Amino acid sequence: MSDATLHAAGHDPDDFAVQIADQVESFLVAVTEVAKGDEPDSAVPFLLLEVSQLLLAGGRLGAHEDILPDERYEPDSGPEQDVDILRENLARLLEPIDVYSEVFDPYEPRRAPVPARISDDLADVVADLRHGMAHYRAGRTTEALWWWQFSYFSNWGGTASAALRALQSLVAHVRLNQPLAELDGLDTDQGMGDETLEFEAGKVMAEEIAGPLGLHGAN
pTM, entire model: 0.77
State the pLDDT at residue 185: 45
State the pLDDT at residue 216: 54
User: How far is residue 209's CA from residue 7's CA, in Å, rounded to a whole number?
Assistant: 40
Which range in 7-16, 63-72, 105-114, 131-140 is most confidently predicted, on average pLDDT?
131-140
Is 115 in contact with 192 (CB distance < 8 Å)?
A: yes
Q: Is pLDDT larger for residue 143 or for residue 203? A: 143
The string of pLDDT tens digits covering residues 73-85 is 777 766 678 899 9
Q: Sign of dihedral through CA atoms 114, 30, 128, 144?
A: positive
Q: Facing residues of 99 across strands?
A: 117
User: How far is residue 146's CA from residue 169's CA, in Å, rounded to a whole number?
Assistant: 32
The string of pLDDT tens digits covering residues 153-178 is 999 999 999 999 999 998 888 888 77
Mean pLDDT, residues 40-45: 87
User: In whole numbers, what is the pLDDT of the chain averaged over residues?
Assistant: 80
In which band, very low, low, confident or very high, does the pLDDT at 194 lie, cut at 50, 70 and 90?
Answer: very low
Residue 107 has pLDDT above 90, yes or no: no
Q: Could you tell me how many residues make up the chain?
A: 219
